[in-house]
Structure 1
C-alpha cells in the first residue's frame, strides 16, 4: 500500500473507529495498523512509511507514531531494519487444521498424564489416620504430586517470589475511602453480592481493561471474585467435568495446577519456548477442555507469547471447543515499552476467559480479583458465583471503585513501577557475575521476579537450600515443572526486598550460585 494511500486509509479508520474516549492517540494508531496487518490489508514484507512522514500525514507528533510502532515491534507485527525501514512480519495462518482436531478426537487418550493411581495409593495410607478424601489430600498437599514448591516455607525473606512490597501502600488514603463508605452505609453494601459484584467497580475495571489491556468487553462481562484461584476454580467447576483434560504450561504456576487438580481434571503439561506455550504433535493427540496460559508474561519464565502462537491457540480452541483461561497476573509491571495486548482482545469466537487480581497492586489480603467471561456465559457465571461462593466484601469493593475512579490507582501503579523497576535493575547488576559459571539471567522487562537458568544437570534444589542458609528465600525452577521437563534454575523475587538492600542481598546470592556451580 503506497504511503499516501495508507495515510488516507488510516485517517478514515481513525475517524470511523469507535475508540474509548480516553484512549491515547498512539494506542488508536497502533490498533488501526494492527487490524490492517491481521486482516492482510497490509501484507507480510510490506514496508511501512517512515515515522516522520506518517506523523506529517496524520498531523500528530512523531513521538506518537514512535510509540505506536514500538508497540507493534514488541508484539511481533513488524520488524525494524536499520537503514532500511519498518516491515510487516506477520503471516496470517490459514487456521488450525481440521485434520489435527479430528485426530485428537480419535487419538490415544492415554497420552494425558494421570496421577489418580498414585493418589489412590497415598489416600489408602492416610484414610484411617486423618479420614480425608483423595480430593482433600490433594487440597492440603498430602500427595507429593500436588504439593506446592512453597508449602514448607511460610516465612517471607528477601527474594521470596510471589510477594509484593505493601509497606508503601497509602494506608491513610485507603482508610479515608473506607470510612466514607461507613459514614453513610448503603444497606446493599452489607449484603452478599447478587449480580457479579459492585456495579461501579465492575464499570471501573471494564474501562481500565479496555484502554490499558485492549480487552474487548462490556462491564456486564466483569465478575468480581476473591482472587485468581477463585476465578480459576469457578471456571473449572462450571466448564468442566471430572476427568476432563486441561492443558497447563510447563513449567507453570503451581497454584493454578492445584485448583485444576482438586477439581478432578487430568493435567497435560505443554512445554514453553521463547514464544510461549508450544504444543507439539504429541500434545495435539489430547483434546483439552481447558487451556490455562499466561501469554503476556509467562509464569515463571517470563516470555511473551508471539502473535502467531496466540492465533494458533485461538484457532485450536475454537476447533476443538476448548476454553482458554488467560491469567494476566502482573500486567501492570512492565518496565520498558508498552503493555502487551491481551489474548482475549484477539478472540473472535468467545473462547477466552480473562482474569486478573488486585493483590499484587494493592495488598495481598485484599483478596479481590476479576474475571471477564464471554457474553454467552455471563448469566451462568453470575448464578454460579452466587450459588457456590456467596461473595461479599462489597464495602471494600465500593472503596476500591472510588480508589480507581479518583485516579489513585493509576498514581499508585506509577509509583510501584518506578520502585520495582529500580530494584530490578539493581538485582540484575548484582547478579551479573553468575555468567562466569554458565548461569543465564532472564532479560524479560516485566514482572516481579527474575529467573536464573542452569544447565539441566545442575541440582537447583541444593542451590536454593544453600541460599536459604544465607537467609535468602529463592525457589528451584524444577519444582514448577511436570513430567519429563529438565528445566533447572532459580526463581528470584525482588518486590519484597528493600531497595537499599538489593545490591547486598544480590551479591550474596551471586556468591552462592557461583560456589554451587563451580563444585
Structure 2
C-alpha cells in the first residue's frame, strides 16, 4: 500500500481551500472507479494511512465511513476494509441475441437511441424563445422599471411578519382562495368574464394553463385548431402534448375556417379573439357567435388566450369570448406577467363550473403548486386597488410610446412599410415586402443592438407574410427614436438595398 500512500500524498493539496477530507474522499473514489484500486484490494489501516499522509486519523476514519456508506468499500470486523466490486454487469447492459443470432450480430444490428425524443427534437428545432428578454424593441415585455415595487414590498413584508404555516406549504387545489376571489371580481369588471371564485384555477402562466387543459380534455393524436399565424409558445405546448395541429388562417375578422376545416371538428381550438397574436386583429362578433355555436354542436373545447387585452388604445378593452359562452365550452386563460412583471409567474384560468373539481385535482396532482406567499401578496395588491391603478397608468404610458414609435416609422419610411395591430397590446407588426427575409433582418438588427422578432416564425404552413414584431412597452420615451434609427438602417441595408430594383419601395 506504499504506492497508494505515495500517490495520494502527491495529489493532496495542503494549501487548497477544499478540506483535506473532501480531497481524500474524491481521490479514493476516483481510484476505485478507474480501476487504480482493483476490486478486492485491501486498504491500509486508518492509522497507517493517516501516518503516511500526515493527516489526523479521524480524517481517514471519516473517509472510510463515507466510502462504506456509498458502497465503494466493504468493511469486515477483524479483517479490514476491501474495495467492493462495483463493475457494471455486461450481461445486464447488453442486448440479448435473437434466436439464431450471435451476440456480435445483436450488437451490430442494435439501432442506437438519440439523446432526446423525436418530439423533443421538434420542440428544439421550432423553438421561438429568445436569449435576450429586454431592450428595444423586444415585443411582449412590459416595463418592469415602472412596477410599484415599494408597494409590493410593503405588502409582502406585512404578510411575512405574520406569515401563517398555511402560506408556506403546498397550494391547495386551485390556488389561494382570497386571490381567486379577487381575480373573479376583477375579471367580471375588466373583461366581462362570468365566473365565481370556484371556477378560477391559479397556474404559473398561460403555458401551464394550456398544458393542463390539453392533458385533462384531449388525448394524444387528436386535432387542435391554432390560428395561422399563432404564438410559438402555445404551438409548442400543444405539439409536445401529442396533438395534431391544424393551422386555421386569420383575416381582418379573426379565425376563418374553411368548409373543409369545419367538416373535421377538432378537440381543441386555441384562439386570441380580443387581440390576435401576433397580427393584432379583433375577432368579429359574428365570427365569435359562429365559433361558439360550432363548439356547442361538436363538443369542441375553446381555449381563449386573453394575454394583454387590457392595453387597448383609443377605446375601451373588448369583452371576452367567455362572456358570450352559454354552452360552457370556453376555457379562459390569462396571466399577470404582462400587467405586472413576467418574473411573477402567476397566471389563471377560468373553467366551466362542472370541470372545476377536475382541474383543481389535476393542477395539484401534476404540478404540486406552491408560491402561496406570492399569491397572498397579489391578492392584497388587487383588493387594495393597486392593480387597477397600475394598469390605467401603464395604458397611458404604453400608448405614448406606441405613438412615438409609429411616428418614427413614418419619418423614416413614410407609408412604404405598413404598421399592423397597433390598436392594442405591447407591440405592432412592421410589415416588410414579400421579397424580404425577415429572419436575416432580425439577425442583423440583433447584431446592431436592436431586438425584433421575425413574423414568419409564427407561421406553421408554407405561406408566410414577411414582417417584424416590434415592441414598445419596455423602451423609455427618449430611446425610441435613436433605437429605431438603428433599426431603420438595418432595414435599408437588408431589405431595400437588396430589392429586385434597388430603388423599389413596398407598395
Q: Same fold, TM exceeding 0.5?
A: yes
Is the aligned partner of 1:250 residue 2:228? Answer: yes
Shift of 1:433: 4.1
Structure 1 residues 144-191: Cα deviation after superposition (integer angstroms, max 9, x where no partner): 3xx22335x336331011222101212221111111111111211112
Give the drift of 1:335.
1.8
1:436 to partner: Cα distance: 4.6
Correspondence list, 1:496-515, <5 A: 496-515=474-493
1:495 Cα offset (Å): 1.5
Question: SS in structure 1 opposite 2:180?
Answer: helix
Q: Residue 353 of structure 1 aligns to a residue in which SS?
A: strand
Q: Give me the whole-angstrom Cα distance separating, in 2, the residues matched to 1:225 and 1:197.
A: 8
1:150 to 105, 129, 145: 129
CA distance in 1, matches of 2:375, 2:367: 16
Q: Does 1:290 align with 2:301?
A: no
Determine if contact 2:437/2:495 at 8 Å carries over to the other structure. no
The TM-score with structure 1 as length reference comes to 0.72
8 Å contact kept, 1:296–1:304: yes
What residue number does 2:455 align with? 477
Aligned to 2:190: 212
Correspondence 1:352-391 to 2 at 5 A: 352-391=330-369
CA distance 1:282–1:377, change in 2 (3 Å): same
Residue deviations 1:413-459 (CA, integer Å, cap 9, x gap): 12211211111010000011465573211253110001011233322
* Partner of residue 457, structure 1: 435
Secondary structure of the 2:248 match is strand
Q: Indicate the residue corresponding to 2:95 in structure 1.
A: none
Alignment partner of 1:274 is 2:260: no
Shift of 1:218: 1.1
* Mapped contact 2:142–2:340 kept (Cα < 8 A): no
Q: Aligned with 1:465: secondary structure? A: helix
1:136 equivalenced with 2:120 (yes/no): yes
Q: 2: CA distance between counterparts of 1:313 and 1:167?
A: 40
| TM-score, reference length from structure 2 | 0.74
Pairing 1:271-420 to 2, within 5 Å after superposition = 271-420=249-398
Q: Is 1:495 aligned to 2:480, yes or no?
A: no
Return closer, same or farther for 1:155/1:300 CA change in 2, 3 Å cut-off. Answer: closer
Aligned residue pairs total 387
- Looking at structure 2, the residues matched to 128 and 319 of structure 1 have their Cα atoms a distance apart, in angstroms, of 48
Q: Residues of 2 paired with 1:277 and 1:434: CA distance?
A: 33
Distance 2:452 2:480 in 1: 14
RMSD (CA atoms): 1.7
Distance 2:240 2:369 in 1: 21
3-state SS of 1:167 partner: helix
2:34 maps to none
- Note if contact 2:281-2:421 (Cα within 8 Å) is conserved in structure 1: no
Does the CA contact (< 8 Å) of 2:119 and 2:240 recur in 1? yes
Closer/same/farther in 2, CA of residues 159 and 128 from structure 1, 3 Å limit? farther
Note the C-alpha offset of 1:195. Answer: 3.0
Contact 1:249–1:277 under 8 Å retained in 2: yes
Measured in 1, the distance between the counterparts of 2:414 and 2:481 equals: 18
Q: Distance in 1 between matches of 2:421 and 2:173?
A: 42
